[in-house]
Chain A
Amino acid sequence: MIYLNNAATNFPKPIRVVEAVRSLLDQPPYHHARAGFQRGSDDAVTECRRLLCELFHADDPNRILFSAGATASLNLIINGLCLRGRHVVTTAMEHNSVLRPLKTLERRGALEVSIVDCDSLGAVCPEDIAKAIRPDTAAVIVNHCSNVTGAVNDLAAIGEIVGGTDSLFVVDASQSAGMETIDVKTMRIDALAFTGHKALFGLQGIGGMYLSERFRPPPLIVGGTGVRSENLYQPDELPLLYEAGTQNIVGIVSLLEGVRFIRDRGLAALREQRLRATEAIRAHLTRRRGVRLYPPRNAPPTALFSFNIDGIAPEDLGYILEHSFDICTRSGLHCAPLIHRCMGSYPAGSVRVSPSCFTTDDEIAAFGRAIDAICASLWKKT
């Protein structure tokens, strides 16, 4: 199987991630907060928090909070916005992990949502964000990197705009964490949601968020923390406030090794490998007639993209790639319906191609041959 669906979940994992998880499962479980030096006080949980803090250029590792993933983080963040204002600005690039919590709150009358369209290259124009902000805007929520087109928003420019207002700047970094440079300080980000199983190389079920000093939403889940057990209320300190219940240690260990892998290999180098693979695949498609690319041919290089071929539904194209050619892509709306309206690919969606830093030239060539065979059969009109 040629795996080109890394925007869903990264595969393969770096060997060190697999080995770390295997090694953890061979040991008796221990609670990191209760373990002494014999178990290593510089435990995986603390170390993972510290490395993520470094990766996002944050000041305080305790502002890195673990969750079940970006959706869990975004639900906590978005539900906490109601206390700050009545209006939220977001974009047509968003995933349903942003849109559905917002629309659910809007339906309840708790919030009003303004949605900014993306431009012809698939990104959002910062000036359009500025125009949408109102005096009662609680937050601006922006996807850093589209999971459909790979287009990357200019967070520094948007952060500059939002930072000059009373609104919070919330970023969904599901695709970009581990691939794009994120500096929560200079980008003036108040809340950053990330998942562990994409460009951070961890397992499904682990993710987290960064919260700035300006934003302290109420926790969605309270309960045991393993410490401060005499207190009948959730401890107010970070990270305990947001980490009730048994931690996903297996997930955190996988994430720790994933972030170490990025640190050792270099974020820029890994990103370059993905861009190179994506561009090689795009270049092949560009030469074929009847192929529509998202973002279009004149867009800057991206780490993933989508496409359609005239005369075949994306769901069939994805099915053929998987079942006839053993190539795993993803077809449909990719849980981001609004961007397809901007691109003209609604309601059928598109086929998404998302290689990884491990994608080989042979795999790219095999994808090209598969597309050639599909196009040849289509034009032959059976």
Chain B
Amino acid sequence: MKVIDVKHVEDCFDGSMIKELLLDSEISKEFVFAMGAGGQVQFFADFPRPFFKVRMENLYDLKGIANQRTMRVHLKSVKLFALDDLRKKIESLRL
């Protein structure tokens, strides 16, 4: 999977930032759990459009709706984990 566009959402007071990512394919449950490996994953499958949230402590939070092509990322510290790191991680996943 690839990130094909990025929209800046917000610069936070604590130096973190929020971006909206557009992916080249739909977000699957497997993708969500792969992105959350080693962290916390919430996946609400019973909603009309399933919501997910991934928490990788001190690095990033992801949230979005399964089967869509966009998701929101909260980069906690760009020194520890920048947008490019996230992009590489997404592209490296083999699902």
Contacts and interface: CB of A to CB of B under 8 A. Distances in A.
Contacts of A324: 44, 47-51, 65
Contacts of B30: none
A382 B42 contact: yes
A325 B42 contact: no
B44 A319 contact: no
B47 A319 contact: no
A376 interface: yes
B46 A373 contact: yes
Given A316-B53, A316-B63, A319-B63, A325 B43 contact: no
A320 B46 contact: no
A320 B51 contact: yes
A320 B43 CA distance: 11
A373 B46 CA distance: 8
Interface in B16-64: 42-51, 53, 63-64
B47 A377 contact: yes
Interface string A350-382: 000000000000000000000001101100001
Contacts of A325: 47-49
A325 B42 CA distance: 17
A376 B51 contact: no
B26 to A, nearest CB: 14
B44 A382 contact: yes
A31 interface: no
A120 to B, nearest CB: 29
A374 B51 CA distance: 10
A374 B43 CA distance: 12
Q: Which of A316, A376, A377 has the most CB of B within 10 A?
A: A377
B57 to A, nearest CB: 15
Given A316-B63, A319-B63, A323-B65, A376 B49 contact: no
B47 A373 contact: yes
A25 B46 CA distance: 47
A343 to B, nearest CB: 20
Contacts of B43: 382
The secondary-structure label for the interface of chain B is strand
Contacts of B48: 324-325
Contacts of B44: 320, 324, 374, 377, 382
A374 B49 CA distance: 12
A234 B63 CA distance: 53
A377 B50 CA distance: 11
Nearest to A326: B48
A324 B68 CA distance: 11
A374 B46 CA distance: 9
Interface string B71-94: 010000000000000000000000
Interface string A114-155: 000000000000000000000000000000000000000000
A376 B47 contact: no
Nearest to B64: A323
A382 B48 CA distance: 16
Contact of A376 (B42, B46, B53): B46
Interface in A304-342: 316, 319-320, 323-325
Nearest to B66: A324
Q: Which of B43, B44, B45, B65 has the most CB of A within 10 A?
A: B44
Nearest to B46: A377
A320 B42 CA distance: 12
A323 B71 CA distance: 11
B46 to A, nearest CB: 6
A373 B48 CA distance: 10
A374 B42 CA distance: 12
A316 B48 CA distance: 16
Nearest to B53: A316
Interface string A203-226: 000000000000000000000000
Q: Which 5 A-B pairs have the closest CB atoms?
A: A324-B47, A377-B44, A324-B49, A320-B51, A323-B65
22 contacts: A316-B51, A316-B53, A316-B63, A319-B51, A319-B63, A320-B47, A320-B51, A323-B51, A323-B64, A323-B65, A324-B47, A324-B49, A324-B51, A324-B65, A325-B48, A325-B49, A374-B47, A377-B44, A377-B46, A382-B42, A382-B43, A382-B44
Given A325-B48, A382-B43, 4 more contacts: A373-B47, A374-B47, A377-B44, A382-B42
